[in-house]
Structure 1
Amino acid sequence: MAPPAAATRTTRGQLLVLVLLLASQFTLAVDFSVLNVALPTVGTSLGFSDANAQWIATAFALCAAGFTLLFGRVGDYVGKLRVFLVGMAALGLASLLGGLATSPALLLTARAAQGLATAAVTPAALSLLTTTFPEGPARQRALGLNSVMMSTGFTCGAILGGVLTDVASWRWAFLINVPIAAIVVAVAPFVLADPAARERTRLDLPGAALVTAGLLALVYGATRLGENGAADPWALGCLLAAAALLVAFWAAERRHPHPLVPVTILARRAVGWGNAAGFVTFTMEPALVFLLTMYLQHVLGLNPLQTGLMLVAMGTGAIIGGVVGPRVTAAFGVRRALVGGLVVQSALTGLLVFVGETTGSLWLVAVTTFVGAIGHVCAIVGFMVAATSGLPDHEQGLATGVATMTQQVAIALGVPVMSAVAIAAGGLASLSALRLAIAVDAAVVLVGALLVARGLRQRSG
């Protein structure tokens, strides 16, 4: 039966909510990658050593990934709107500090604060979005646009970082957030509402401590692995500690009367496999952006501005994917949208193993990243629909917290892991090593597609 027109029509109030939340999501996604291209310039400007410059990115990723689930659950207790407003205000202040930083310590403090703000705002914004739009076509369209903001924001961050570094100053990568955050904080109380009932039980503090420590150890260990390779004992130790902490977290959640994450929600087929698909696509696509950045700069010799402009094709594909993704999901079902999007992403990534040492390969990069990004965002739309469907409003904070954690951890892990692959194969300036890492990227996505297809095969949509 077709949904009634009222369920599919977007009201003026819903449109205002959508614009405000999408602006915040885009800003947060940009922050994740905006300094990646400019790391050498920033490091030189503030006196970072070559070995420590990577901490500009790592400080952000650690906090964004490590605290997302905790803040997502806090929103269920104190109110998602309150967490959203505090997080956006913190983002503005942290960005101002970063833009004015005169030492490595101040810049790293700003990046860590930006990461904490991202961990607070992202699940709160997504939860407000899903509770504003009822399940069905309206929510799928909203999630599709949200997916565009997340994916294109990451890509545009790389583009913007290159442009600002060459044309103005890397400081504007921070300062541009300040007016955006101020506008959102000023307007949000008049536009947003928090309709979901709040939790009245006590917060699961042991579970929060275990999962936060586990995620921090996981991202830190993976980052060291990407920098130093498998011979780094600290990397291996952190990864083992992360595994132990996360296993302990899972065991604790099964026994706690009011767990931070009820394991029953992840046992739901759509939620569990949707998050698995989201983890795969969000791990490998940002990793591909990183590998291509290394290829364009180290192999072809492009400058940051030229490198950023080469990623415009990927951003354009992501926008188109956000438009067609909800339609694909509605027409073919969540399972086919997820699997099909992952297969397209894998196939087009695989074609990039044929890039060469001359600028004649630029057309291949542009075409494959354009089409691959369409598949990537179609998969994201399917992921978000699967991960948030069939749940009451009071569980949306939890579901969106889990989905956001999946996204943030995946982005934080993908780059260092693929960097470690390339370093082990010959280094980030070696064409053969980058080709191998790209092939591994494509293979992981394909395996993910096959597993998701199998896991969701008993569902019709």
Structure 2
Amino acid sequence: MTDTPGEPASGRRRWWTLLAVSTAQLLVVLDGTIVNIALPSAQSALDMSDANRQWAITAYALAFGGLLLIGGRVSGALGHRRTFIIGLVGFAASSALGGAAVNAEMLFGARALQGVFAAGLAPAGLSLLTMTFTETRERGRAFGVFAAVGAAGSALGLVAGGLLTEYASWRWCLYINVPVALLAVLGTTFVPRDRPVRDGGRLDVAGALLSATGFAAVVYGFNEAEPHGWSSPKVLALLLGGVLLLAAFVVVETRVPHPLLPMRVLLHRARGAAFASITLLFVAMFGFYLFMSYYTQTILGYSPVEAGLTLIINALAALLGSTLIAGKLHGRVAPAAVILPGLIAAAAGMLILTRLTAESTDVLPLYLVPALILTGLGLGCVMPPTASLATADMQWHEIGAASAAYNAAQQLGAALGTALLNTVAASAAASYLTRSGHPTPTAATVHGYTTALTVAFGILLAAACIAALLTLTRGATRGAPGDN
């Protein structure tokens, strides 16, 4: 028996879909961090200036974050499976182009192209998963695996980046995407076809332009805040302009007949709380990854590979949290009953690290390992139910928009967390050095890190308060998409 377009897959084809989508998710998430460790080597090889090297990271983030909502609409119009395949092939080709770069401009352009194809690939993948797994138990298992890959991807990116740069070449941080993407393309032969949205009306051109420029301005503003400070006129102009553009986008979306992002995607109380929870979690967690990278290398003296391997603990904890806890509990308890403890666990992990000082001993067993386990479990518990809530109870032709909004929330959180918490750490360290008693630079650096992690702890508590709103929604979206 064959699967008809737009209907749930049957038998083993469902699990092939999960494998292909999870592989694509790994590519998208991993590429946000894998280049970070390789950047010094790439800078030396391609003769980049210190001022321009950030574009190897920023070009990807801007294209990905700015085009996500458009990618969600394109995915619905072309069909999620077709968009998924195009995204994979394009991502592989642009990765190969970046690996073969002969100058900085070629690398930056390739990274931007990666972001363009990732903007279609990410929402298409989540949409395929949502439409394929509709039975409650299997849906929980599938979203648990999908979220585990997403939760562990950033940490694995740092590990892979360190290993490839040290033992092969920085170019392999990009080349490695090619065989992985092509394997995922082969897996899509088992993914059932879906029907494109034919009644979506004309493209919301105004919404597309406003969302792309607004998201890009905000993400770029966050990136520029790290080197230039939050009071920089350039940063303030970017952030203010981005917020105004996004506000105009919301106004347009409430008035056009076929919006790029229907407001019902955001205005549903449980779904909106899920978006807010995942955004704030990513703010805190990307600051945490920044701390782990800097602290282990500059204070503990770890090599880049050792620093990356330390994060394997976090990745394994996230895998356990998403599959054995969140995946098993899906459909048996309300989503808030998993999200809220997950956020509290992550906050407890951050709190442990705030007790660090320059004189702390036995740092790995007493501080880092417990923090890595708790934050990993928290991340693993939060991602599956929020991903499921993002697309639950949506009409089938709106799943692409909901998937894109969920990915956009993560991107904004990651960009804000890196910029905000790095700035807090730098400011706190500078202030600490002015104190009486002649504090050492090491003590000031550690104080800066712990101050930033205190802010991250507060952010996670705020996210937990927002997640508590889910408990006020009776029967909080346990159903499958398209129930309404």
Aligned to 1:402: 405
Aligned to 2:355: 354
Does 1:417 pair with 2:420?
Answer: yes
Any idea what SS the aligned residue of 1:32 has?
A: coil
Q: CA deviation at 1:79?
A: 1.4
Aligned to 2:461: 446
Once residues 199 and 365 of structure 1 are traced to their aligned partners in structure 2, the CA distance between those partners, rounded to angstroms, is 53
Aligned to 2:138: 138
* Mapping for residues 3-18 of structure 1, pairs under 5 Å: 11-18=11-18
* Mapping for residues 221-236 of structure 1, pairs under 5 Å: 221-236=221-236
Residue identity opposite 1:143 in structure 2 = F
Q: Any idea what the Cα deviations from partners look like across 1:236-295, whole Å, max 9, x if unmatched?
A: 110000111011111111111111111122111121111111111122212211121111
Cα contact 1:62–1:412 (8 A) shared by 2: no
Once residues 301 and 49 of structure 1 are traced to their aligned partners in structure 2, the CA distance between those partners, rounded to angstroms, is 27
Select the residue among 377, 388, 392 that pairs with 2:380.
377
Once residues 9 and 238 of structure 1 are traced to their aligned partners in structure 2, the CA distance between those partners, rounded to angstroms, is 45
* Mapping for residues 42-81 of structure 1, pairs under 5 Å: 42-81=42-81
Residue identity opposite 2:347 in structure 1 = S
Aligned to 1:4: none
Once residues 361 and 176 of structure 2 are traced to their aligned partners in structure 1, the CA distance between those partners, rounded to angstroms, is 33
Task: Identify the range of structure 1 (35-44 vs 126-135) with the bigger mean alpha-carbon deviation.
Answer: 35-44
Select the residue among 375, 387, 391 that pairs with 2:390.
387
Q: CA deviation at 1:196?
A: 6.1
Q: Any idea what the Cα deviations from partners look like across 1:73-132, whole Å, max 9, x if unmatched?
A: 111112112211111111111111111112111111111111112111000011011101
Any idea what SS the aligned residue of 1:256 has?
A: coil
Once residues 253 and 471 of structure 2 are traced to their aligned partners in structure 1, the CA distance between those partners, rounded to angstroms, is 25
Any idea what SS the aligned residue of 2:35 has?
A: coil
Cα contact 2:16–2:187 (8 A) shared by 1: no
Cα contact 1:76–1:199 (8 A) shared by 2: no
Cα contact 2:269–2:473 (8 A) shared by 1: no
Cα contact 2:64–2:115 (8 A) shared by 1: yes
Q: Any idea what the Cα deviations from partners look like across 1:170-189, whole Å, max 9, x if unmatched?
A: 11111111112223234424
Once residues 207 and 130 of structure 2 are traced to their aligned partners in structure 1, the CA distance between those partners, rounded to angstroms, is 25
Once residues 10 and 22 of structure 1 are traced to their aligned partners in structure 2, the CA distance between those partners, rounded to angstroms, is 18
Greater share of residues in helix = 1
Residues 148 and 93 of structure 1, relative CA distance in 2, 3 Å threshold? same
Any idea what SS the aligned residue of 2:37 has?
A: coil
Aligned to 1:296: 296
Aligned to 1:213: 213
* Mapping for residues 110-125 of structure 1, pairs under 5 Å: 110-125=110-125
Any idea what SS the aligned residue of 1:36 has?
A: helix
Cα contact 2:161–2:173 (8 A) shared by 1: yes
Once residues 99 and 279 of structure 1 are traced to their aligned partners in structure 2, the CA distance between those partners, rounded to angstroms, is 31
Once residues 331 and 190 of structure 1 are traced to their aligned partners in structure 2, the CA distance between those partners, rounded to angstroms, is 30
Residues 80 and 198 of structure 1, relative CA distance in 2, 3 Å threshold? farther
Q: CA deviation at 1:195?
A: 4.5
Q: Any idea what the Cα deviations from partners look like across 1:209-244, whole Å, max 9, x if unmatched?
A: 001100000000111112221232101110000111
Once residues 225 and 272 of structure 1 are traced to their aligned partners in structure 2, the CA distance between those partners, rounded to angstroms, is 27
Q: CA deviation at 1:31?
A: 0.7
**Any gaps of 5 or more consecutive residues in structure 1?**
1-7
Task: Identify the range of structure 1 (176-185 vs 355-364) with the bigger mean alpha-carbon deviation.
Answer: 355-364
Does 1:311 pair with 2:311?
Answer: yes
* Mapping for residues 77-92 of structure 1, pairs under 5 Å: 77-92=77-92
Aligned to 2:433: none
Once residues 237 and 471 of structure 2 are traced to their aligned partners in structure 1, the CA distance between those partners, rounded to angstroms, is 35
Residues 51 and 340 of structure 1, relative CA distance in 2, 3 Å threshold? same
Once residues 461 and 212 of structure 2 are traced to their aligned partners in structure 1, the CA distance between those partners, rounded to angstroms, is 30
Aligned to 2:446: 431
Residues 192 and 181 of structure 1, relative CA distance in 2, 3 Å threshold? farther
Aligned to 1:345: 346
Cα contact 1:228–1:420 (8 A) shared by 2: no
**What TM-score do you get using the length of structure 2 for normalisation?**
0.89
Point out 4+ residue stretches in structure 1 off by more than 4 angstroms: none
Cα contact 2:87–2:121 (8 A) shared by 1: yes
Q: Any idea what the Cα deviations from partners look like across 1:339-398, whole Å, max 9, x if unmatched?
A: 111111111111111234467212221221122211111111121121111122222112
Residue identity opposite 2:461 in structure 1 = L
Once residues 168 and 51 of structure 2 are traced to their aligned partners in structure 1, the CA distance between those partners, rounded to angstroms, is 26
Residue identity opposite 1:409 in structure 2 = L
**Any gaps of 5 or more consecutive residues in structure 2?**
1-7, 431-440, 477-484
Residue identity opposite 1:406 in structure 2 = A
Q: CA deviation at 1:190?
A: 4.4
Residue identity opposite 1:344 in structure 2 = A
Aligned to 1:247: 247
Residues 330 and 193 of structure 1, relative CA distance in 2, 3 Å threshold? same
RMSD between superposed Cα atoms in Å:
2.0
Task: Identify the range of structure 1 (63-72 vs 278-287) with the bigger mean alpha-carbon deviation.
Answer: 278-287
Once residues 98 and 201 of structure 2 are traced to their aligned partners in structure 1, the CA distance between those partners, rounded to angstroms, is 38
Once residues 439 and 199 of structure 1 are traced to their aligned partners in structure 2, the CA distance between those partners, rounded to angstroms, is 49
Residues 269 and 219 of structure 1, relative CA distance in 2, 3 Å threshold? same
Cα contact 1:328–1:378 (8 A) shared by 2: no
**What TM-score do you get using the length of structure 1 for normalisation?**
0.94
Residue identity opposite 1:347 in structure 2 = A
Q: CA deviation at 1:435?
A: 0.9
Alignment coverage as a number of residue pairs = 454
Aligned to 2:237: 237
Cα contact 1:158–1:308 (8 A) shared by 2: yes
Aligned to 1:330: 331
